A = this chain, B = another copy of it.
């Protein structure tokens, strides 16, 4: 006799998606081309071969709607996928809201976030095409630990440039990467020209994702057996994350419900895109009316305050130019604890769907994000990562609006990772040591003024 309220919607190993969903062929207007910073002409696949294996370069520009997931990748996914979808009934009760709140929980992966969805795929393709070593950067450490794990599984060496502020704040994240066998260096470092240039200006630099990308790209380009791996931003990375949304659709159907609002936090944009893109595909085809909301930190508000234009993906200006919402590649965001969201730009695909009016964006202050995270933890038991707290805050405010309006509403958000390696930020928050950051208008204006001019 089974009378419990369903709160978990699980799928068996056999329901791991067979293919990633690529939104590019469904877009009403194609993505702007990626430009060579010298010639300002579109780059071709060959320009990227020093950094990426050809399979990933082809995925970057693919116009196939479905891209088959290799069996070896699905086999590793089976360690934690399909990830659970939960209904947050206890949180609904605490909020006393008529809204139904669902969350897709990506913190069940061994590295604790959505990042292994792409780390495993990237390690697989690199190994297959002969790479011996991967170099990357990491902000909060979620991406670095995911790649370190994936490299351990596929027998690749792994080197990670970790943003200095996280390296200092999160020694246990670093330890996790080292347990997986990776080597970790604080960025900016004196190992690269890019790092030395920043240190010359400011020996106490906190670092940023933009700086760490420069260092990793520079180091990877030096060695033919070494490739570079990026944990967000690029089309192929977002593509690999679409397993989140594809599974969520099947699980929402199990729940007999349909989302009215879909929410994810955005830094580079990958976990948001992973949940949102499959739904946006439906939206473009007129099969879904949901509001899709990206929630970003008020201290680093690329979607709500940035400019949609060509910019570099890194601070050292080693990357091609990409069209995106940017705060300016020389902008170094304040040291908020949601290190994974401290990035000047937004993924071109996410920027593009924003420009097309398919999604909305809002910004949340640091203290509000932590307050939401603690409310969530006490109701649901799970401690969210500081990044994910932005999505939680977005979901709670939608639920409270539904209460105010006296309307039912179905909210689905992506709980992209747990906060087990971020407890210092919770200690600091509870001790009253964290602060909000005003929109850094002046620094951003300066950074935007320095952008390259593209006709």
Q: Using CB atoms and an 8 Å cutoff, list the residues of chain A in contact with chain B.
A: 1-8, 10, 12-14, 16, 18, 71, 74-75, 78-79, 86, 90, 108-112, 116, 149, 152-153, 171-172, 175-176, 178-181, 374, 377-383, 418, 420-421, 423-424, 426-427, 430
Contact = CB atoms under 8 A, between A and B. Distances in A.
Contacts of A16: 4
A209 B172 CA distance: 26
B381 A90 contact: no
Specify how many copies of this chain sit in the oligomer.
Answer: 2
A13 B6 contact: yes
A176 B423 contact: yes
Nearest to A7: B78
Contacts of A3: 71
Contact of A172 (B2, B18, B74, B423): B423
A309 to B, nearest CB: 40
Contacts of A14: 2, 4
A205 B10 CA distance: 47
Contacts of A79: 7-8, 86, 380-381
B8 A78 contact: yes
What are the 10 A-B residue pairs with the smallest beta carbon separation, nearest first? Answer: A110-B381, A172-B423, A420-B420, A175-B423, A152-B378, A175-B427, A2-B14, A110-B382, A149-B381, A7-B78
21 contacts: A1-B18, A4-B71, A4-B74, A4-B75, A6-B13, A7-B78, A8-B13, A10-B10, A10-B12, A79-B86, A110-B382, A152-B377, A153-B379, A153-B381, A172-B420, A175-B426, A178-B426, A178-B427, A179-B374, A179-B377, A179-B423
Contact of A75 (B5, B10, B108): B5
A3 B430 CA distance: 49
- Residue from A3, A149, A175 whose CB has the most chain B CB atoms within 10 Å: A175
A93 B382 CA distance: 33
Given A78-B8, A79-B381, A153-B90, A430 B179 contact: yes
Contacts of A176: 383, 423
Given A381-B79, A420-B420, A179 B426 contact: yes
A235 B160 CA distance: 48
Given A79-B86, A175-B427, A179-B377, 9 more contacts: A2-B14, A7-B75, A112-B420, A175-B426, A176-B383, A178-B427, A179-B374, A179-B423, A421-B423
A110 B420 CA distance: 10
B179 A424 contact: no
A180 B373 CA distance: 11
Contacts of A110: 380-383
A427 B171 contact: yes
A396 B35 CA distance: 53
Contacts of A379: 152-153
A55 B315 CA distance: 63
A24 to B, nearest CB: 26
A67 B178 CA distance: 45
A301 B424 CA distance: 35
A421 B419 CA distance: 11
